Amino acid sequence: MKLVTAIVKPFKLDDVKNALELIGIAGLTVSEVQGFGRQRGHTEVYRGAEYQVDFVPKVRIEVVVSELDAARVVDAVVESASTGQIGDGKVWVTTIDEIVRVRTGERGADAL
Amino acid sequence: MDTGDTAWVLASAALVLLMTPGLALFYGGMVRAKSVLNMMMMSFGALALISVLWVLYGYSMAFGDDVGGGLLGDPFEFFGLKGLMGTEGIDNGFAATSLVFTIPSMAFVAFQAVFAIITVALISGAIADRARFGPWMVFSGVWATVVYFPVAHWVFAFDGAESETGGWIANNLLAVDFAGGTAVHINAGAAGLALALVLGKRRGFGRDPMRPHNLTLVMLGAGLLWFGWFGFNAGSALSANGQAAEVFVTTMVATGAAALGWLLTEKIRDGHATSLGAASGVVAGLVAITPSCSAVTPVGAIVVGAVAGVVCALAVGLKYKLGYDDSLDVVGVHLVGGLWGTLSVGLLASASATAGVEGLFYGGGLGQLGKQAVGALAVLAYSFVLTYVIGLVIQKTMGFRISEEDEVAGIDSVVHAETAYDFASLGGSGGATLVGQAHAEARNTEGATRA
């Protein structure tokens, strides 16, 4: 099984969610995160005092899928989250050893 | 006694009282989340303490018979407001026996009390995040007694209003300060500067980001200040008459012009018109029109306001250049705005306004400008010097500042044992457990909610 993790622009969350639903993904987890990449931060000005805000708000989406689905999920995220501008984010795939559905105790693919 | 005048002044007193909670929001939103409660408590502490001192001896120090030179009222004449009570009974509609012009003395007591309160509260913006609460309360009481009550006498005690003889700025110098550009704003601004110097800079000043934690509170506070300020200025007519109406309009339009001036300055200098700039411009305009609201025409008020917006927007940057941590710009807004407003009478006063004086630009020469400058500088110097001494004595004896460790942790939790916001994102108690209650019989943790 694979864990697909995507960091995307917050305003793209709905598009990504819709795209993943379209390809039949049964569930995902979303969190608000902040950090920096090539986009770096932005400046804010309060009564003329300028602040460099290094961290930019992003959304992290996590999906656990079977190995076969991982590539399709990655493609769907990239396609739906892309604006072509700097700061569009990243997607990566990691292997996970075990997954358990808490309610039933099912393991592996049955737990997805 | 005039019932219409009395109703307006009592309503105005309530309006002005609301300015202090409004100021607490204005200041509270500008500090970081870890010190918003302390910021607001300094205003509420002033509300509590000064209202008591005012009734006990403050009113008498400000409006009792002059003890000499127009410098101070007799603290004992109206001690505990004695002699000001009494009405002519139910058959005469409870008309007050002691009057200030056409209103009961007690209405004037109430109206002037809230001026004293907000002047003290204004100072707190200069010492955000770092002043112990107990010493602040001591400072408030001493400062009101030694600085505000005498200065209110100088500026607001007209001969024959409450007592036979009043203060020197009002009666001898004849500077125009309709609602307190000197007594309230220059006074609080100079005190803020002195106290910021005594307490020193916050840890990380000029290096760490100290962003306002909640600009919506700031906007709401500015709105409440604007609303209450109609009582402050138009109420200072002490009558529901044409002067009150004219003052109401100059107050309104100067404030709008100042917000525009501040926003334009920001847009040109920084590239953005900010909400903090709008809120700050509103307050700068209100400060500047306070002394001049009865002396300028509505168009003159636009000039007073617009200049205040631009000048104050530029002045708030001074603290970084000069290296004093006037945290929330009491100097940049109240001292600078108060100075401009007070001097603007000497420049822009029109004889067609109710104050009846003429400024330089209206053919009045330099005479009035000179009087305005003397009044402004006298209050500035008196307030700065005495505040510095009071602050230093408290710093050396009680200790005014919290420790560096507590400052970093946040003054709210250390000094008040509270935090403003429950940021617990997990269900339940966010890690807090009830371990005791105020009543001894309930000191039983069985009933406490646990996560």
Residue-wise pLDDT tens for chain B (451 aa)?
A: 999 999 999 999 999 999 999 999 999 999 999 999 999 999 999 999 999 999 999 999 999 999 989 999 999 999 999 999 999 999 999 999 999 999 999 999 999 999 999 999 999 999 999 999 999 999 999 999 999 999 999 999 999 999 999 999 999 999 999 999 999 999 999 999 999 999 999 999 988 888 999 999 999 999 999 999 999 999 999 999 999 999 999 999 999 999 999 999 999 999 999 999 999 999 999 999 999 999 999 999 999 999 999 999 999 999 999 999 999 999 999 999 999 999 999 999 999 999 999 999 999 999 999 999 999 999 999 999 999 999 999 999 999 999 999 999 999 999 999 999 987 655 555 567 777 776 655 444 444 444 3
Q: Which residue has the higher pLDDT, B193 or A112?
A: B193
Supply the pLDDT for residue B447.
44
Alpha helices in B54-204 (DSSP H): 59-63, 105-123, 133-143, 149-156, 168, 187-199
Residues A19 and A78: their CA atoms lie apart, in Å, by: 10
The answer, for B270 touching chain A at a CB cutoff of 8 Å, is yes
Does A45 sit within 8 Å of B272, measured CB to CB?
yes
CA angle B191, B46, B284 (to 5 degrees): 50
Closest Cβ–Cβ partner in B271, B272, B280 for A47: B280
A:B CB pairs within 8 Å: 30
**What amino acid is encoded at B177 in this protein?**
D
The answer, for B323 touching chain A at a CB cutoff of 8 Å, is no
Does B274 sit within 8 Å of A46, measured CB to CB?
yes
**What residues of B are in contact with residue A43 (Cβ under 8 Å)?**
none
Summarize pLDDT for A25-62 with one digit per residue, the tens. Answer: 989 999 999 998 887 788 888 888 888 888 888 999 99
CA-to-CA separations, B144 to B303, B400, B434, in angstroms, rounded:
33, 17, 40
**What residues of B are in contact with residue A46 (Cβ under 8 Å)?**
211-212, 274, 276
Does B212 sit within 8 Å of A46, measured CB to CB?
yes
User: What domain range includes position A33?
Assistant: 2-111
Residues B353 and B323: their CA atoms lie apart, in Å, by: 41
Does B270 sit within 8 Å of A50, measured CB to CB?
yes
CATH code for position A26: 3.30.70.120
Q: Nearest CA to CA, how far is B317 from chain A (Å)? A: 7
| Backbone phi, psi, residue B73, to 5° | -85, 160
Closest Cβ–Cβ partner in A49, A51, A53 for B320: A49
Q: What is the CA radius of gyration of chain B?
A: 22
Supply the pLDDT for residue A53.
82
Does B211 sit within 8 Å of A46, measured CB to CB?
yes
**What residues of A are in contact with residue B211 (Cβ under 8 Å)?**
44, 46, 51
**What amino acid is encoded at B170 in this protein?**
A
Phi-psi region of B286 (alpha: psi -120 to 50; beta: other; left: phi over 0): alpha
DSSP bridge pairs for B225: none
Q: Which CATH superfamily is domain B3-405 in?
A: Ammonium transporter AmtB like domains (1.10.3430.10)
Q: Nearest CA to CA, how far is A10 from chain B (Å)? A: 19
Does B270 sit within 8 Å of A45, measured CB to CB?
yes
Supply the pLDDT for residue B451.
37
**What amino acid is encoded at B164 in this protein?**
E
Say if strands B103-104 and B99-100 run parallel, antiparallel, or are unpaired: antiparallel
Total domains in chain A come to 1
